Structure 1
């Protein structure tokens, strides 16, 4: 199954809260969720952290699950997408700041079953491998020794590595190679985890095989629109 991640920011003149509310309660419900090929769909609202400074790169994340390449192509040809979701985008999103990653999800820590009635907190870590490193080597390192370090972070409930799909490298380089997703019970639990020695070790290891200038992190609360069970 394809796990698509859409990182987006508010259009000029719209506050972050207005952007998040519109995406979650209007765009997701009236437009995106009606695309028949979408199996699961979640919208994640950015949660500000004490260490954040300046304007955030993105204010939310859309998560879309599609069965395969054929259904993804079909979804882009539906009236629900063309006349609905795509046509609505300028009403709330600065489309020139949007980043879309199609990923293959690798579950490192399964954790408890997601609760659709509970807003879980998720830390996104977006990465690009070190210059000169082979993609296969990056994936092996990320899913091996690095993943093992992540499971030692206190309070971690679930851990998934979303690796950019091979098709993104067909005519060049993908903008990013992976989106690591770490779940916690609350924003406070996530902040406590970031202050731990285990998280410090995790970051130190990460910086040995990714480019620091392309490293992005964001904390968000996940809201299910369709799911967590696929329709």
Structure 2
């Protein structure tokens, strides 16, 4: 299955409240109608006081295969949507589209459609001297099991950018990000305990420097995860 991830930013002249209302009330039904959508999730990024917001929202869409992806990207519904740069409120320049595949490191208990869980999404580029295959091998084989051992973690998924995908914001044939790590926790207390734990501070966090460009990594705390199209078990 192919997992599309869209990181979007509102135009500078657009109020955040108005943007999010449009995203949830007008954009969500349109995106849910894209052909071939197996799952669709809207993530609202939490604002951090004193820090500039990289993105306002993250949309996630899953389709069956490359044929379904091609049909979606050429559909009238998609072409006329904000995700394709046709919206009036999103700033097309800073927005990013990634084509990825998922590797579930820790499945945990199934997440219900209306279940509210704290979530963190980290987008990264690999180290300049590291090839994609080596990065992927280390991320999945070494860092993944280490990160999955953090206490209180509910679910952990690694989404690796497809090697042939260079959809938006490419530099010299490279996608903006090589991958995204998504981690869910049972509650806010579990999340805070995890990031403050010695295991995270002394082992997991320092290990990132072995395979990613830590200066270019972007970590987003998700304020709300709206599961618009959701299978019975996920």
Q: Does structure 2 retain, via aligned residues, the 8 Å contact 1:163–1:179?
A: yes
Distance 1:17 1:154, change over 3 A: farther
TM-score, structure 2 as length reference = 0.89
Tell me which residue corresponds to 1:24: 24
- Runs of 5+ unmatched residues, structure 1: none
- Residues 9-158 of structure 1: matches in 2 within 5 Å? 9-29=9-29, 31-49=30-48, 53-84=50-81, 89-158=86-155
Answer yes or no: is 1:205 the counterpart of 2:207.
yes
Given the alignment of the two structures, is residue 190 of structure 1 paired with residue 186 of structure 2, yes or no?
no
Partners of 1:17 and 1:111 lie apart in 2 by 33
Q: Point out the more displaced range, 58-67 or 19-28.
A: 19-28
CA distance in 1, matches of 2:89, 2:225: 19
Give CA-to-partner distance per residue, 1:122-171, whole Å, 9 cap, x none. Answer: 11111111111111111110001101111121211000000001212698
> Does the CA contact (< 8 Å) of 2:208 and 2:214 recur in 1?
no
**Rounded Cα–Cα distance in structure 2 between residues aligned with 1:219 and 1:183:** 10
Give the structure 2 partner of residue 225 of structure 1: 228
Q: Partner residue of 2:158? A: 161
Q: Shift of the alpha carbon at 1:174?
A: 2.3
Tell me if the contact between 2:105 and 2:158 (Cα under 8 Å) persists in the aligned partners.
yes
Question: RMSD between aligned alpha carbons?
Answer: 2.2
| C-alpha distance in structure 2 between counterparts of 1:165 and 1:86, whole Å | 19
Residue 95 of structure 1: how far off its partner (Å): 1.4
Higher helix share: 1
CA deviations over 1:2-57 (Å, ceiling 9, x no partner): 0111111112222333322321222012x1111122111000011234xx632210
Return the alpha-carbon distance in structure 2 between the equivalents of residues 129 and 87 of structure 1: 26
What TM-score does the superposition give when structure 1 sets the normalisation length?
0.90
Aligned residue pairs, count: 227
**Equivalent pair of 2:119/2:182 in contact (CA under 8 Å):** yes
Task: Tell me how far apart the structure 2 counterparts of residues 17 and 191 of structure 1 sit (CA, whole Å).
Answer: 27
